[in-house]
Amino acid sequence: MKVIPINDARTLAPQAGPTPPAGAPLVDRRGRSLRDLRISVTDRCNFRCVYCMPREVFGSDYPFLARRELLSFEEIARVARLFVARGVRKIRLTGGEPLLRKDIERLVEMLAALDGVELTLTTNGVLLRKMARRLKEAGLTRVTVSLDALDDATFRRMNDADYPVEKVLDGIAAAKEAGLGPVKVNMVVKRGTNDHEIEPMADYFRHSGHILRFIEFMDVGASNGWKMDEVLPSREVVERIGRRFPLEPVDPNYAGEVAERWRYVDGGGEIGAISSVTHAFCAACTRLRLSTEGRLYTCLFAQSGHDLRSLLRGGADDVRLDAAIAAVWQGREDRYSEIRTAETAALRKIEMSYIGG
Ligand code: SAM
Ligand code: SF4
Ligand code: SF4
C-alpha cells in the first residue's frame, strides 16, 4: 500500500496586521470576503470512488485518523460560531462520508442553532433512507447527493465498493420526502469512464424537481492519477445535453455562484455546470475549509493547512482563536485553478476526503 503522509500543519503565525474589530467581515489579499465554510467531519468513507479514494491507496490498512484526532462536535461548533461572527453565511458538512460520523445529527442541531446560516451536507446518499428525517428534524436545510451514473455497472465501477445505483436513488427520494429538497445531484464527469451517462442522467432528472450538476474531474489530492485528457469540459456537456433537450442560460442566484445555471426550454427544470478546470472561478472564491482534525485550508488544492486544533486544545480563548482565523483569511492569496499547469497538477496536494469536498 502506498501511504500518503499528511504532515503539513503550519503553526498559526502571529497576526501580521491588526485584527479587524469584532464582528467586522474579513477580506483576503485579493479582496474576497469569507462567506462559506466547509467542514470535513470524517476522513473515512464507505465508497472508494476512483477519482477520490482509489482502493490501491485507501486500502484496508490505510491509516485513517484516530478518534481523538478528530475535532469534537463542541470544538467544531465553537469554531463555527466564531466564523459566523466574521461573515460566514453557508456551512456545508462533508468528508469523507459525513453520514458515517456517529451522531452527526447532534452536530447538525448545534450548527443549526447559529443565526442566519444555511446549513447543508454533501453525501454519497446510501445512508439517507435511514437518516434523512432525523437530519431534517435537527435543522439541516438541504442535501447534495453525489451520483456519477445511472447504469449500475458503470456506477459500481466508479464507487468501487459494490454499491448499487438503486440505493442512491432511494436516498434521494428519502431526502425529498423528508423535506430536504430540492436535492442537488453532483455528477463528476470523467471522459472515457462515465461520459456516456451524461444524457441518460439529464433525461432521468428532468422534471424531477432535483438539480443535476456536472463537475469537471479535478486534480485534487495526489492519488487519483489525474490527466487533462480525462477532463470533459462543461461546455461540451451543456452542448451535448442541449442537442437532445434545448437549454437556455439562467442568471446566477448571486454574484460568484460556482455553478453556471441552465434551464430546459420546455420547463423541465434546471442543470448546473461546474467548470473548475476549464473556467476558473477563483476571483470570486469565498470558501474556507476546516479539515477533520482541525486544520484550516484556504484552497481545495492547498499543500498545507493551519493548525487550529492546537490552539483549541491548548486553552486559547475566543479572542485568540478569532485573531488566528482572521490572520489566515487576511493572508489568503490562493488562485490555484487560474494557474493550473501539468506541473502544478503533479504537486502533492491534500486529499479531498480529508480536506472536505
Ligand atoms: N462523500 C461525500 C460525497 O461523495 O458526496 C462528500 C465528500 S466528496 C469528497 C464531495 C464531492 O467531491 C463529491 O460530489 C465528489 O463527487 C466530489 N469529488 C471528489 N473527488 C473529485 C475529483 N477528483 N474531481 C471532481 N470532484 C470530485
Ligand atoms: Fe467517498 Fe465522496 Fe470520495 Fe466518493 S467522492 S470516495 S463517496 S468521499
Ligand atoms: Fe477557490 Fe482554490 Fe478552487 Fe480557486 S482553486 S476556486 S481559490 S478553492
Domain ranges of the chain: 2-355
- Residue range 174-191, pLDDT digits in tens: 999 999 999 999 999 999
Return d(Cα 313, Cα 130) in angstroms, integer.
34
Pocket-testing residue among 38, 50, 52, ligand 2, by greatest number of atoms within 8 A of Cβ: 52
What integer pLDDT is reported at residue 4 of this predicted model? 39
**Taking 60 as the threshold, does the pLDDT of residue 84 lie above it?**
yes
Ligand 1 proximity of 194 Cβ (cutoff 6 Å): no
Non-local (6+) Cβ contacts of 63 within 8 A are 3
pLDDT band for 7, please (50, 70, 90 cuts).
very low
C-alpha closest to that of 38 among 294, 349, 290: 290
Written out in words, the top-level CATH class of the domain with range 2-355 is alpha beta
Give the residues surrounding ligand 3 with Cβ less than 6 Å away: 281-282, 285, 287, 299-301, 334-337
Pocket-testing residue among 220, 274, 282, 304, ligand 3, by greatest number of atoms within 8 A of Cβ: 282
Non-local (6+) Cβ contacts of 306 within 8 A are 9, 10, 11, 12, 295, 296, 297, 324, 328
Three-state SS string over the chain comes to: CCCCCCCCEECCCCCCCCCCCCCCCCECCCCCECCEEEEECCCCCCCCCCCCCCCCCCCCCCCCCCHHHCCCHHHHHHHHHHHHHCCCCEEEEECCCHHHCCCHHHHHHHHHCCCCCEEEEEECCCCHHHHHHHHHHHCCCEEEEECCCCCHHHHHHHHCCCCCHHHHHHHHHHHHHCCCCCCEEEEEEECCCCHHHHHHHHHHHCCCCCEEEEEECCCCCCCCCCCHHHECCHHHHHHHHHHHCCEEEECCCCCCCCCEEEEECCCCCEEEEECCCCCCCHHHCCEEEECCCCEEECCCCCCCEEECHHHHHCCCCHHHHHHHHHHHHHCCCCCHHHCCCHHHHCCCCCCHHHHCC
152-159 mean pLDDT: 98
What integer pLDDT is reported at residue 183 of this predicted model? 98
What share of the chain in percent tops pLDDT 70?
95
CA of 322 to the centre of ligand 3 (A): 23
Q: Are 272 and 212 in contact (CB under 8 A)?
A: yes
72-91 mean pLDDT: 98
**Taking 50 as the threshold, does the pLDDT of residue 98 lie above it?**
yes
What integer pLDDT is reported at residue 16 of this predicted model? 52
**Taking 80 as the threshold, does the pLDDT of residue 235 lie above it?**
yes
**Residue type present at position 146:** S
Closest CA to ligand 3's atom 2: 299
Report which bound ligand comes closest to the CA of 160: 2
- Residue range 266-303, pLDDT digits in tens: 999 999 999 989 988 899 999 999 999 999 999 998 88
What integer pLDDT is reported at residue 1 of this predicted model? 36
What integer pLDDT is reported at residue 356 of this predicted model? 72
**Residue type present at position 333:** E
Q: What is the grid cell recorded at 126?
A: 446510501
**Taking 80 as the threshold, does the pLDDT of residue 58 lie above it?**
yes
What integer pLDDT is reported at residue 6 of this predicted model? 41
What integer pLDDT is reported at residue 5 of this predicted model? 38
Of 51-55, 79-83, 101-105, 218-222, which gets the smallest average pLDDT?
218-222
The mean of the pLDDT values for the chain is: 92
CA of 215 to the centre of ligand 1 (A): 9
**Taking 60 as the threshold, does the pLDDT of residue 200 lie above it?**
yes
Of 11-15, 273-277, 331-335, which gets the smallest average pLDDT?
11-15
More confident site: 346 or 130: 130
315-341 mean pLDDT: 93
Return d(Cα 94, Cα 86) in angstroms, integer.
21
Pocket-testing residue among 44, 144, 148, 215, ligand 1, by greatest number of atoms within 8 A of Cβ: 215
CA of 260 to the centre of ligand 3 (A): 16
pLDDT band for 109, please (50, 70, 90 cuts).
very high
CA of 281 to the centre of ligand 3 (A): 7
More confident site: 112 or 222: 112
Return d(Cα 131, Cα 125) in angstroms, integer.
10
